[in-house]
Chains A and B, each alone.
Chain A
């Protein structure tokens, strides 16, 4: 391991240099810039593969390596070192980010072919890859934060990529800003967590802060506070309740961005943070419970929203939210869930990236139409997209042996494991997880058949759908194969769980409250029921081109269950009120108070000025009168005093 560790910084360095060349090179790099972007991402991927193979050849207990790079800053007793941590967990992310990232780079070459700013797009993509790798390879919370902010920046730049020259330019810019601002709320949580951690332990690197000795010295209250702050950070980045409202709007970005950043990698950073900080959460059972609750709520929330969306990308965004809810739920379950959280993250990265790129391919074919009510019958015209999205569809449904089955089923089983003293937990969260699987089956089947199924196409006029160039469909094939086979390869015999064991620890085997075969069977039954219902509603019968009014729940789900309205009422309005109050207070109280002082002074001046009449006789009278007054007073005081 140690002979190749010197390559690790280049994982980050190469895409960073790529981004720098593309951004600084300007128009000179327009002609070949996109290929440089692809090459930088691919080079990172090759380094990732080399490290991965070396790590597989290393004994399990030696797989976690901290690679010190340099002392970041040294101030008195405070030394902050900058280093990278290579362990099975970070390498899983490296593989996911570079592999899926490279496929999406390739796809973007074709997808963004006609865009005049394609070079800039690739610069941002490379910047994102570099930042994401910094995030997962950091050996301390501080460096993690650098990557955390870096991916936030890249996400902002790419959501608002089309902020000029389009009818929706303004909305795109607003969406980017919304994502950025909501992410900042989460980042506050991360900063607060770091501050608490530093106050409690005096260090920020994983090796010190996550060791048993250090955590043993923290009180449970501090650990809970740190855990909740970390959860806030994760909620912001991973679009978890109640900070999830930005993800739907983030679909304003180009589709490859939605696939890479807002489905496969960046939004899962919160799950990574939770799993990485596992020991802290285990020291704070309350925080752990909150994590599970947030995961469960988001899981249902996203799934319900997904059932009503007609915009193919927004439906997929809601699905992403829901799937990350599953991961978050698993991350709150302790060592039994960590491995499955990451496993689901990995398989989700593949099938959701595939689904998004498939959606991009459909949009490409239909002239940027995103309304699923205007699709239909596309399976004959886009066979490759149809099959690859079909694989992704089966994977997200959790049909064995597709990849989603192995990871999602693991989470559902883990959710059913009883917690000592809280028997209700297993039943509540287990049921939510199964229910979520059913709704997922419904909305994904709806999406799939509204797009590809149906005998009568509902297209707008003059549409001639056809597959894009091989650059677009080859990545789809790769991701489709991954969606189909990844679970089988890594899931059978618990390969993946064993792989992560050096990081997340060995989970003691606990029996769920229901026998495992019963859980698997009932989940599958619920999934099949959900899928059949959707099939009946959207494949067997005609889909209206205009969305029907729908029930109350449908209308609520269409509007993201009133999340924006709730934010508007609960946060924005009070904040506006406070701002207005402060503005009025500043203008009418503070400013007016200060301008009162000179007013009073000039009023005094006006009064006393009258005394300066310029008439010498009045001055003389004043003097005479003054002398007289002094004389009388003196006579009264001295004279009366003398009389006594």
Chain B
């Protein structure tokens, strides 16, 4: 027979096929289904967001109000705020029909006309009612009616208003925020943690005003970060868990383990091959997830405003968030593989890895954890890395009275998870007995 060789002749050396391992993972049809669900969820969420932007229930101004205007991004800082405020005054002063005489305004209103503040409309009917009931005085009514909070810009001036007022308004919001935080940090009735936290936030905001920030229209980016959050992130976590829970377990369950483990490269090399294939699968899932979020969101809402954003620009934030999400996906991959290397039944493997990976998310959602340390421990868990909101919203970890950016802890968590999971995967599989 042509295939019978001399038994002393050895076969050439080779390496385990990562491609075939990947093929085995992808043959799990759950992967395709879950990705389809993810796509549908993202599309629906974006469509809902678009509806919200159109009807004015989401965003500062509804898209029809903007009349196709996309306010340019403006740099705002303590140095530039005075100039911006002057521009607002000029804008108001240029209004020739701007009624400064409050008596005249009241007269017009009493004659059945609308209260008109030049560029502003204001609804003071409730206040008049209060005045009639004697709940407020006339002076109080004047003061309230002319205050900024009760004014609504007239539609025809909106694009210009946004360009001028939006940056000033954001600046003033931060100033008010600082004031609130300072007040909270001095309040003896709140916990030390809350005092420290508010003090930290006040300081952070002060620095931001000093260094400046970009203000502008960024609905597409807002939606994109919304998609990279728990709502959709849970799907990517599940795609990884369900895709990888069978990497080792299915070999045990299908009795292919004996064939593999008796092969020359069927232990160490194959274990690494399986890990490599799982990492490739995870990367592909992550890329599909990020790309879908990006494309769907921007297809609906456009790409304007990448350089806007408080603290850091959206583009910078994107490059910061995505690597952490990828890191979180890799850690979920390691945890799932470790569980898979231990469990002999597919259902057990899926349930256990699902439970371990998603437990922090569930505990955050369902239980209010009062202890700040415990709560923060839950926050730095790998699944929360997958949920980009933990990174994009700039969370902080409270340690020894000071606050550190949550991102600094993720590499430590990654090192710890890898240090535990990789040896478990390797040892449990290579020492597995049939």
Partners in one complex: no
- Which B residues have a C-beta under 8 Å from some C-beta of A? none
- Which A residues have a C-beta under 8 Å from some C-beta of B? none
